[in-house]
Each structure stands twice: as C-alpha cells, then as structure tokens.
Structure 1
Amino acid sequence: MAKLWREGHSTAILCVCASPGPEGLVASGSENGEVAVWSQEGCIVGRLNLPGKEDCTSLAFSPAAPSLLYVSHGDTVSTLDPRNLNGPVEEFVGVGEEEINALALNESGSTLALADDSGAVRILELPGGKVCRTLRRHTNICSSVAFRPHRPNNLLSAGLDMQVMLWGLQKTRPIWTLNLQDVAEEEDDHQQRPGQLFNPPLAHCVSVSSCGNIVACAAEDGRVHLMRVGGGSKLEQQGALKAHCQGASQAHFIPFLSHPYWLATGGNDGRVSLWDVSKHPVVTPEGKVKEKQRKGKSKVKRKGEEAREKDEAETTETSGPKVNVDHGDKVNWLCPALLKGTASLLVADQSSSLTVYPLPEV
C-alpha cells in the first residue's frame, strides 16, 4: 500500500536519492532550491533553502562517505552534511557551463560527473571539485549521466540529441555513440500509419545494472532502450521495451533484488512499472538462439504455427511489467530504496509530496 511523505517541500519535487546502507537517509530536492532529508520512516531530519533559490535538479550521496550529499542547482554543485543542514559545507560555483541537469558519482566517491544544458559533461575530482575534464559531443541538452559499476573510468551520458554515449575518461571522445532515432526507425512497429504520430526518442535518463554490462535509457518515444556492453567496452546489442504510452522519463536498475536485471520505469503517462528484463534478448542473447534452434527442428510448418511462434517470440522479447501502478501524475523522478528492509520505490511527481510504493518479493 502506497504511503505519502509530506511536509518536506512547498514546491514540486524534482529529484530524489537514497543513501546506501540499512539505515541510510533519503534526500529530495525541489523547485526554488528546497532540500529535504528524510529518515527511512518518512520523518523529516532536516530542511534547507539553498541560496539563489534555483531549482534543485539532481542529488547524489557519496558511496564512500554517507555524510556527504551533493546537490546541483543552476551551474553550481553544493556539498551538504545531510544530518546538519545549516548550509553548504562547500560550493563548486560555475562548474556547469549552463544549468546542471544530473550528477553521478563513481563507486569510490572520488569522481563526480555532471551533465548540463550546453550538452557538456564535466568531470570533477573529489575532494576539492577541480574540473579535470570536459566532454563535448552532445549537440543538445545533456540530461543524464551514470558510471559503470566496476569500471570507474567508464561513464554513460544521454541527451536530447537522442544520443547515448559511452566514454572512457582517459580520452575526450566517446568509445561509442548510439543514435536512438536510428534504432527507433529500425523497429517494425515504428512504421507510421496514416494519421499516427510518434515522439522522437529524446533521451531523458540513463542507468546501468549492478553487473555493469546492461544499460537502460528512458526516452520520449515511450520506450526504454536497452544496450549490452561487452568485452573491450564494445556495444554488442541493443533493443527496447515498449514501456509507456507517453514519454518515459525515468529508468533505474534496482541493485538489491533477486538479480541485477530488475528495472523500474516511470513516464509522462503517470504509470510506474517494474520489469524483469533478465530474459530480454539484449540481456540474454542465447535465448534468441535457442528459439531459432527450436524452430529449425521442424522443416515444414503451417502458417498458423508460424504466426503463433512469432507471437510467442515477440512476447518473450517484450513481456509486460511484473508490477504496473497507475500513479496518476507525471513522474519527475524514481528512486529505488531499501526502507527498513523493505524494497521500495520513491516517486516524485508534480506535487510537493513523495509517494512510497513497497515492492513485492521477487
């Protein structure tokens, strides 16, 4: 049963993050520079209005030091002590060329990546906040960044130029770039019918599974695009989930469930979904091979059998969500969290409250 966490904000919540660990805190940021820190029960630990009253666009707890919380607002990143919200401990002013949209920390907490409206991705050394590298390949707003687990020098970025890029931070050019528009045009169901319109696949949110090999990207075409990264950081395969009937705004792998391929998504259609993508051909390509081998055993098939097998294969590739919630409002942010040992999804929407959905045991 869903719970509401209230009284942390007076404006719409734009971003949420959870500190790792069994007793970790939850932080949320909203319009006009409001930051709130919550206990796992949903009680307010502290509140802060950042100077300048610029929207809080992203938050990230340090995995190495839970007493450090990074918040982006305007072109600035502020470092906060979540248990003592009297003001910023440190400010990195002007580290974004324009408004910052997303933050990501590597597993050691020594590197902070940020994406901004200019399309640039900047890499900061921590502590200190020195800009050590600027990555410029996106031709429109860069909306999201995520480090690959177990590979601290590999960074994913996604933007409104419909590009997903994998970077090796030793260089200033991407290892590979995937144009989601090209992928969408290859999909059979994107053959446009008379009077039918499709949104372009502007890339909003990128996430990487805890094993580091599967990437998910929520896009404006309502799909969550999946990519498999193989040896040598090469892009081996890509595909998609037909996740939402309007733009997909959020996609996050959940690292604490039964396997690393549970994926939570949210969209402009007001739906929140939980997917098991472990059998998707991008994640488990041998499944497709077995299907072909099974089909090859029978040399002669009636048309009805062929059609049925085609339907079965498509169902396997794009099977529906395990949980599908009609949240009823456009989703601004999703955050998986373990709250008092219960796997949960924190949802921020157009309101000033957080909604908490407990997940079934999977």
Structure 2
Amino acid sequence: MAKQWSEGHSTPILCVGTSPGAEGFVASGSESGEVAVWSQEGNVVGNLKLSGEDDCTSVVFSPAGLLYASHGDVVSTLDSRNLKGAVEEFGGAGEEEINCLALNETASALAVADDSGAVRILELPGKKVCRILRRHTNICSSVAFRPLRPNNLVSAGLDMQVMLWSLQKTRPLWTLNLQDIAEEEDDHQQRPGQLFNPPLAHCVTVAGCGNILACAAEDGRVHLLRVGSGSKLEQQGAFKAHCQGASQAHFVNFFSHPYWLATGGNDGHVSLWDISKHPVLTPEGAAASHKKGKYKAKKKEKGKAEAQQKSEAEKDSGAKVNIDHGDKINWLCPALLKGRPSLLVADQSSTLTVYPLSDV
C-alpha cells in the first residue's frame, strides 16, 4: 500500500536522492529552493530554503553525509545531519540554470549539467572547475557516472544526443543520436501512420555493472545502450515504456541482478522492468546487430523478422510492476527503506509517494 510523506515542502517536489547506508537519509528539493531531509520512516529531519528564489533541481549525497543541491546556477553544500543553512555555496557552478548533479563513486568529482548544454566537472574537495565539456547543442538534462569507472561520465540532452566522456579529455569518446534508434525501430515495426515525438533525452542512468545505459526520452521509449571493452558502444535498442514522454529511468541496485529498471512518465505511470532478456543485453542481440550491419543490403527483407524476434524477447522484458500513479512524474528514486524495496515518487504536488516493491 502506498504511503504519503508530507509536511516537508510547500511547493511541488522536483528531485529526490538517497544517502548510502542502511540507515541513510532521503533528501528532496522543490520549487522556490526548498530542501527537506527525511528519515526512512518518512519523518522530516530538517528543511530549509536555499538562497534566492530559484527551484532546487537536483540533490545528491556524498558518502560523508554532505548533501549537494543545485538551484539556479549555484551548487550549495549542506550538512544533511544539521540542516540549518548552506555550509558552502559555489556560485556560477553552471553557466545557466543547472538541471542535474552527479557524484562519482570516489566522491572526487561532481558533474554539473545545465541549460547551456555544458557539463562542468568540479574537483572535490574545493569545487575547482577542472573540465568543461561542450558538445550538446541544446539543454543538457541529465548526467551519470559509470559505476566502477569514476572517470567515465554519460550525458544526455534535448538535442537527442547521448555521449560517453572520459574526464581526461574534453571531447566525447562517442556520441549517439537517439533519433537514429527511433527511426530504425519505427522502420522495423512498420508504423507509417504513427505520430512521431522526437526522442528528447530526459534522464540517463547506468546499471551497477557499468556497461548498460538507459535513457528515458520524450518519444515514450527507454533507449538502451551496451558499452563494451575500450568503452566502445557495442549495441543499442529501445522499448516502449510509456504512452507519453518518459521522464525518468533509474536502475535498481538492490535486487537479484543489476538489470531491474524503474521508469516514470508524463502519462502518470510508474513501471518496474526486468530488462535482463532484452536483445541489447544478450549475446544473441549482439550477433543480430553485427549481422544487420554486415548485410545492410538485405535490411528491408530481414527487418520484419528481426522486429518479430525483438518483440518476442521484449515480452520477457515487460513491466513486472505497473502503477497508475495518476499524475505526471517529476522524479523517481529507488530506495531501501528499513530494508524494504521501495520507489519514491515526486509529482506535481508537495508530497512524496512511497510504493513498496515487496512482491518483486
């Protein structure tokens, strides 16, 4: 049964994050710069209003219990155990309004994605800008570090591009245009009358293995990418997750394997998927991709058969949990709350909703 966490905010909640550890806190940020820290039972431990009137767009915990919160072009450092005010503020951390923060596993780098399309890398401690990554031609909406590879960063933006970066360089290791995947999927499935929504990239996430990426996009699909040796892009594909734009995608790291994926969309639905049998993740999918690339001349003849095989495989990768939340999803956050698998959902309201996943 869903639970409501209230009294932490007076404005719509935009972002949610959890701290590491069995007894870790939950943090949320909302419009007008409100930040709240919650216990795992849903009690408000502390809240404050950040300086200025800008929305709090992203929150991320460090292993040491510090909380980084973005508002406007500023990143504030907060003490999650004593939420009285900012310990430190870094003005101009973004060139324009910040959309997303990401911290690498060693807590040595904080990535800041903003409306200019740039990604700034701040060295920690000290918050010195050590890299500025400029390749997105529109808003950079999401960034995520690859687990086990603290110098590899994934970014995604409203230019429909997903990029993999090495922090030793200021150019991406590779770039993928999601529109290419979308057009290929539509061609295979032969839906000439379908209304087309461009796959603007809203949220990118990386599985715990570090090799599988997922990106929620405006076309309602979740686009999947597999990274191979040498950080090369080996395979890509997609599956339809929502009937309107998919706004959120997050891998869940506390189930039996690393390929459980939670998604949320503008259709008001929250879903949990087991994508372990999706063609992008399987050797058969890799072989099919190689074969397809090798024999492009026969693409049209094989397209229908490949689409049927892919459809059958994706049935096994279907939603294991599908929740009609009823409101547009702003943020989705998998969490272990007192040892219970859960999904924290932020929508257009000032209340967090907690859905248990005890049956998975």
TM-score by length of 1: 0.92
Which residue does the alignment assign to 1:295? none
Whole-Å separation in 2 of the counterparts to 1:185 and 1:118: 27
Segments of structure 2 that go 5 or more residues without pairing to the other structure are 289-303
Q: Specify whether residues 280 and 116 from structure 1 end up closer, same or farther in structure 2 by C-alpha distance, changes over 3 A only.
A: same
Deviation at 1:283, TM superposition (A): 1.1
| Partner Cα separation in structure 2 for residue 140 and residue 308 of structure 1 | 37
Please tell me whether the aligned partners of residues 160 and 203 of structure 1 are also in contact (alpha carbons under 8 angstroms).
Answer: yes
Q: Offset of 1:284 from its aligned partner? A: 1.5
Counterpart selection for 1:314 from 273, 292, 311: 311
**Matched letter for residue 229 of structure 1:** V
- CA 1:135–1:309: 2 relative to 1, 3 Å: closer
Give the Å deviation of 1:117: 0.2
| Alpha-carbon separation, structure 1, partners of 2:286 and 2:168 | 36
Verify: 1:5 aligned to 2:32, yes or no: no
Matched, 1:16 2:13: no
How far has the Cα of 1:313 moved from its partner? 4.7
Distance 1:110 1:309, change over 3 A: closer
Aligned residue number for residue 48 of structure 2: 48
Shift of 1:190: 6.7
Contact 1:40 1:340 in 2 (8 A): yes
What CA deviation, in whole Å up to 9, does each residue of 1:264-316 have, x standing for no partner?
Answer: 000000000000001111111336769xxxxxxxxxxxxxxxx9997465121
| Cα separation, 2, equivalents of 1:150 and 1:284 | 21
8 Å CA contact 2:28–2:35 kept in 1: the answer is yes
Q: Does 1:92 align with 2:90?
A: yes
Letter in 2 for 1:316: A
Q: In structure 2, what is the equivalent of residue 267 of structure 1?
A: 265
State the one-letter code of the partner of 2:205: S
Q: Identify if the C-alpha distance between structure 1 residues 289 and 134 changes in structure 2 by more than 3 Å, giving closer, same or farther.
A: closer
Distance 1:176 1:310 in 2: 26
The corresponding residue for 1:296 is none
Give, in angstroms, the shift of residue 317 of structure 1. Answer: 2.8
Within 2, Cα distance between the matches of 1:309 and 1:52? 54
Decide whether the 8 Å contact of 2:341 with 2:356 is kept in 1.
yes
Map of 1:238 onto structure 2: 236
Offset of 1:361 from its aligned partner? 4.2
Offset of residue 193 of structure 1 = 3.3
Structure 2 counterparts to residues 22-171 of structure 1, below 5 A: 22-62=22-62, 64-65=63-64, 67-171=65-169
1:72-100 deviation per Cα after TM superposition (whole angstroms, max 9, x unaligned): 00000000001111100011111100000
- 1:165–1:176 Cα contact (<8 Å) kept: yes
Following superposition of structure 1 onto structure 2, how do residues 238-257 of structure 1 map, counting pairs within 5 Å? 238-257=236-255
**How many residues were matched structurally?**
343
Paired amino acid for 1:3: K
Q: Percent identity?
A: 78
Aligned equivalent of 2:192: 193
Amino acid at match of 1:77: V
Q: Deviations over 1:321-356 (max 9, x none)?
A: 000000000000000100000000000000000000
C-alpha RMSD over aligned residues? 1.7
Instruction: Decide whether aligned partners of structure 1 residues 361 and 234 sit closer, same or farther in structure 2, where only a CA change above 3 A counts.
Output: same
SS in 2 for 1:174: coil
Write the letter of the residue equivalent to 2:200. L
**Distance in 2 between the 1:171 and 1:205 partners?**
23
Q: Which amino acid aligns with 2:250?
A: H
Deviation at 1:197, TM superposition (A): 1.6
What SS does the aligned partner of 1:322 have? strand
User: Which amino acid in 2 is paired with 1:22?
Assistant: A
* Secondary structure of the structure 2 residue equivalent to 1:89: strand
User: CA offset at residue 36 of structure 1?
Assistant: 0.4
For the Cα contact (< 8 Å) 1:184–1:190, is it kept in 2? Answer: no
Pairs within 5 Å for 1:296-307: none
- d(CA) in 2 for partners of 1:136 and 1:310? 36
Alpha-carbon offset, residue 50 of structure 1? 0.6
Normalised to the residue count of structure 2, the TM-score between the two structures is 0.92
Q: Contact between 2:145 and 2:206, CA under 8 Å: does it hold in 1?
A: yes
Provide the secondary structure at the position in 2 that maps to 1:140: coil
